[in-house]
Structure 1
Amino acid sequence: TQRVEILLTLLSDNDEVKGEFLQTVKRHLHLLLATRESKAFSSTKNNWVIKEASNIDALQEGGTFRHTLWKRVRAAVVPLLAQLLSVIDRDQNLDLLLDGNCGEFVKRLWLDIFGNEKLLDIPHLTLDQNSETRTILVQNYIAQDRNVTCSMPFSWRIKDYLEELWVHAFQHEGHTQGEFDELFWKTPLGRYITKADEETQREFFQRYLQDFIAMTMNVTCPEDLQLLCGALNCCVSELRLQLDAADTALSLPWVHAAYHKFKNRLQNLSRMICIEPQVTQDLISNHHTRGGVELVLDTYAAFACVEYLEPRLLDTNVQRQAWLRQVKKLQVPIELICSEDSVRHYGERSKVIARRVQAGWNRIFTLSLFVEHMLLDIEHVEEKLAPLVLKHTKLLCQLLEKNSDLKTKESFEEVIGLLKTCKDAAIECIFRFGLPICSVCMGDPQNPLCLPCEHVYCVACIKQWLVPGQMFCPLCIHPIDEDFLMVPSDTIRIHIQQHAQFRKQCNAFFIDLVSTVCFKDNSPPCSAVILHLLSFLMVEANTVPILRGKRHILTKVLSPFDDSVDKNPVVRSVVLKLLLKYSFDEVKDYLQQHLVAVEQSNILEQTDKTELYSLYMNCLEDSMFERLHFRPADVS
C-alpha cells in the first residue's frame, strides 16, 4: 500500500517532475495496450465494445453500460499498470523522485531513463481471465529487509547495461580500460552525465557505487554498506593509479573494472564481516583504514579477526567447541589473506599487515590444533588431566607469542618440548610409579600383571619367562614365589588405557601439526626441522638386562615419544611422503645412510628389509608423481 500511495502522489501534474512522470506513464501504458491488442484476434480487438454491450450478464452485474465498459477497461489497464510499477519501482526506485535530498540532475536522469525505450524495456504481460486478481512479483536486486534502498535511478538497469558494454568492449573488441571508458562517454547515459558539473558527476559515481555494492554483495546493514563502499572506492583509486589514469574523469565503468580486478578480496572482506559483525564498527572507527589509494580494509579485517580469536575461556567443553567453531569459520578467509598468491598482488601497506596477520594466525591455528586434539573432551579420558592440559594450553599460547613460525628450528623444538612435558606430567598424574612398559615386548602391557617388585608385564610375556628355575623378575632379578598368582590387574589396565588414549591424542596433534603447519603452503620447514622429524622415525630399544646384548632398532609411529614403538620394522609412509615430496634434496643423504645401515644390519630379517625397501620406493614414486602432476598448476 505504501508503494501505491507513492505512485498516486506522482500521478499528478502539480510540478514539472510529476507532470513528465504522468505523461511517460501514459505513453508506456499506451504502448503496452497496443502490443496487447496487436496480439489479439482481429474480431476481438475491433468489436470488443459491441461484445460487451451484447453481454446481458455483464450489463446486469455492472448496472449501466458505462460502468460495464469501465470494468472492462480497468481489467485491461490495471494489470499493465501493475506490471509497469513492478519494473520502475524495483529497489524502491520511485522514492528518488520524492526525495528532497536528490538533486535536479538525479531526478532528470530518472525521467530520461524512464522515457528511453532502449535503456528501459517494459516487457509485455500476458493476461488471463483472472488478471485483476493476479499477483505480480517485484524483482528487487537489493535485499529489502536490510534497510537499504537504491540511491541511483534505475541502478539495476545501468548495471546490466554496463555489463553488456563491458562484454562487448573487452571480449568482442579487445579494448583497454581507457578505450572502454571513452566508449561509455559516447553512450546516451555517458553523454547525459558529462553535462553535469564535476561535483554532480562525483555524486552520480558514489550513488552508483553504493547501489552496485548493495546489488552485488551480501550487505546486512547500512554500516556494512558503508564499509564495503569504502573498500570499493579504494579499489578504484588503486586501479586508476596502476593504469596511470588517476587524473582522468571518474566514470561509472571504473566501478565494474575495480570490482572485477579486486573481486576475490572484496568478497573475502564481506565474508569476514559477516562472520564477525563487530569488525565493521572497528574498521569504520579506525582512521588508518579510511580513504587512501590502496585497498587495506580486508587485511585490517583479517587482523581484527585474529585478535577476536584470542582464547579467553576454555574451561568447559562448551567454551572450547564454540571457540573452535569460530576458528574454523574464519580459517578460509584469513588464510586467503595470507596466501602467497594473494600477497603477491598486494600494495606495500597490505603486505605489511598481511605479515602480521600470518604471524597471529599461525599462533591461533596451532593453538586450535592443541585444543582440538588435547583439551577437547579431556574429561572423558581422565578428569584430573583437565587442569594439567589447560595449563599447558596457556603455556603454548605464551610460547607462540614469541615465535609462531613452526618451520623454524627454535619454535618447532619448543612446541615439541612442551608436548613432551605435558605427556610426562600426564604419566605422573595417571601412574604412581611412572609409565609401565613390558620389558619383554617393549610395548604397552596387554592384560597387565604387576609383580611384587612393582614391575609390570603382559601376562603372556611373563608366563613365557617365569618357568621353573627362572622365577625372578627379568628386569630387577627380584625372586618370585612359586605359588604367585598371575592375575591381570584391572586398575593398571584402566590406567594403561587412559595413557594410551592420551598418547593417541598427543600423536594426533603432532601429526596434524606437521602436515598442516610445518609443511604448509607446499613448502618444507628448515633443514634442522626435517632432521628432527626423521629422528622421530626410529628408536633404539633395549630389552631386559639379562638380554642386554640384543638391541633392537625399531620404527615407530611418527611421534616425538619413544614409547610409540611400532613392532613392525616399517617406516611410516606419512612423513616419508611429505619429506620426499617437498624436501628430497635435504633428506636424500640422511635416508641413504639409513638404508646402508639397514642393509648392514644383522637384526632385521631379509623379509623386513625387503618390505622397508618397497615402502621407500613406493613413497618415492608417489612423491615424484605428485610433484610432476602439480608442477604445471604451480607454474601457472
Structure 2
Amino acid sequence: MGSFTESGLHPQENPQFLNMDAMIKGSIQKAVIQLEDKKDNSQRPTERIQILHNLLCCPGNAASSLFLTTLKKRICVLLHEREKRTQEPQRWIFREALSMKFILEDTSFRQALWMHLEDIVANIFAQILAVVDANNNLNHICQGSPLADLWLQMFQEETFLTIKYSWKRLDAKIPVLSMTKDPNVSLSCQFPFSWVVKAYLDDVWEKVYHMEGNIKTFQRELCPSRAAPYPIPVRKRNHGVHSAVNPRSQQRMWPGSTTASSRAT
C-alpha cells in the first residue's frame, strides 16, 4: 500500500511507506473518544484534544518534534506486540477485501484500508494516552510548563515508563489510569509521572528494608556512579541493624530530613 499526503487520499512519490505523521495527527479525536475519564473530569477530553493538537500540529517546535518522534516509537513497539497476537498478520489486506465493508460504506478499497489502519493506530494511541495522561499528567507538557522538558525525558525512557499492549476491540472504552479507585473523583499530579516515581521509590525502600546488614552493597547498586553514595539512615535494634523504613507505617526517614509522608505528590 502506498504513502499518503496529509489528507490521506493521494499517493506520494515513495510507494513503500505510509505517512505515519499524518495518520497519527488524523487519529487524535478517534483516540481521545475511546478514553473513559472519571465523572468529575468530564471536561478532560476537550482539554486533551487541545493539548495534543498544540503538540502535534505546531511545526518548528522542538518539544513538539520530540514528542511526535517518541510517540511514533511507542506506537511501533505496541503495533509489533499486536502483530504477535494476530493470526497471519500479513494477510490483513486480504481479510479486509473479503469483508466488503468498503462497498457498504460507499468508499474505495484504498480508503477503506487507510481507515482500518487509522482505527488500529487510534486504538494504540488511546492506550498510550490512558497511561501518560493519568491524573491529568499531560498538563505538564503544555506550552509554558516549567516541567515540559523533564516530562519528555521521562516519556522517552522505556525502562522508566513501561506501556504494555492490551488486546481490545477497536471501539472498546479504555479507562484512564488513576491514583484513586473512586469512579467519581479524579486527581491532578503536581509532578510528571509522579505515580511512576512513587512506585520506584517504594520499591527501592522495600529493598532497603529487607537487606538489613547489606545496606552498603545496596548503596553501591543504587548509586554505581558515585564514589561515596549518600548515606542511608539506619537505626539499631536489640537484635541487629535495620533500615529506618517501615513499609507498613505512614512515615519514612529520608536522608537529610526528618520525616516525609509516604504519599507521593
**TM-score, normalization: structure 1?**
0.27
Greater radius of gyration (CA): 1
Report the AA paired with residue 126 of structure 1: W
For residue 119 of structure 1, the aligned residue among 136, 143, 160 is 160
More helix by share: 1
**Aligned twin of 2:194:** 155
- In structure 2, distance between residues paired with 1:57 and 1:156: 43
- In structure 2, distance between residues paired with 1:183 and 1:158: 18
**1:47 counterpart SS class:** helix
**1:11 and 2:56 equivalent?**
yes
Q: CA deviation at 1:30?
A: 0.8
- In structure 1, distance between residues paired with 2:93 and 2:200: 42
Higher relative contact order, structure no. (Cα contacts within 8 Å, ≥ 6 residues apart): 2
- In structure 1, distance between residues paired with 2:168 and 2:117: 13
1:489-500 to 2 correspondences below 5 Å: none
- Deviation digits for residues 410-469 of structure 1, max 9, x if unmatched? xxxxxxxxxxxxxxxxxxxxxxxxxxxxxxxxxxxxxxxxxxxxxxxxxxxxxxxxxxxx
Q: CA deviation at 1:94?
A: 0.8
**Aligned twin of 2:261:** 259
Q: CA deviation at 1:124?
A: 0.7
List gaps (5 residues or longer) in structure 2. Answer: 1-45, 227-249
- Deviation digits for residues 229-249 of structure 1, max 9, x if unmatched? xxx9xx88xx56xxxx64xxx
Q: Give the length in aligned residue pairs.
A: 193
- In structure 1, distance between residues paired with 2:73 and 2:220: 33
**Aligned twin of 2:100:** 56
Specify whether residues 98 and 181 from structure 1 end up closer, same or farther in structure 2 by C-alpha distance, changes over 3 A only: farther
**Aligned twin of 1:23:** 69
**TM-score, normalization: structure 2?**
0.62
Q: CA deviation at 1:156?
A: 0.4
Specify whether residues 37 and 18 from structure 1 end up closer, same or farther in structure 2 by C-alpha distance, changes over 3 A only: same
Q: Percent identity?
A: 27
Q: CA deviation at 1:64?
A: 0.7
Report the AA paired with residue 260 of structure 2: A
Contact 2:178 2:186 in 1 (8 A): no
Report the AA paired with residue 258 of structure 1: A
- In structure 2, distance between residues paired with 1:186 and 1:156: 25
Contact 2:101 2:112 in 1 (8 A): no
Q: CA deviation at 1:48?
A: 1.0
List gaps (5 residues or longer) in structure 1. Answer: 191-231, 247-253, 264-636
Contact 2:179 2:187 in 1 (8 A): no
- In structure 2, distance between residues paired with 1:62 and 1:7: 31
**Aligned twin of 1:36:** 82
Q: CA deviation at 1:53?
A: 2.7
1:139-538 to 2 correspondences below 5 Å: 139-141=177-179, 149-172=188-211, 174-176=213-215, 184-186=222-224, 239=253, 246=256, 258-259=260-261
**Aligned twin of 2:140:** 96
For residue 151 of structure 2, the aligned residue among 110, 133, 136 is 110
**1:66 and 2:110 equivalent?**
yes
Q: CA deviation at 1:77?
A: 1.4
Contact 1:35 1:124 in 2 (8 A): yes
Q: CA deviation at 1:52?
A: 1.7
- Deviation digits for residues 581-634 of structure 1, max 9, x if unmatched? xxxxxxxxxxxxxxxxxxxxxxxxxxxxxxxxxxxxxxxxxxxxxxxxxxxxxx
For residue 77 of structure 1, the aligned residue among 114, 121, 124 is 121
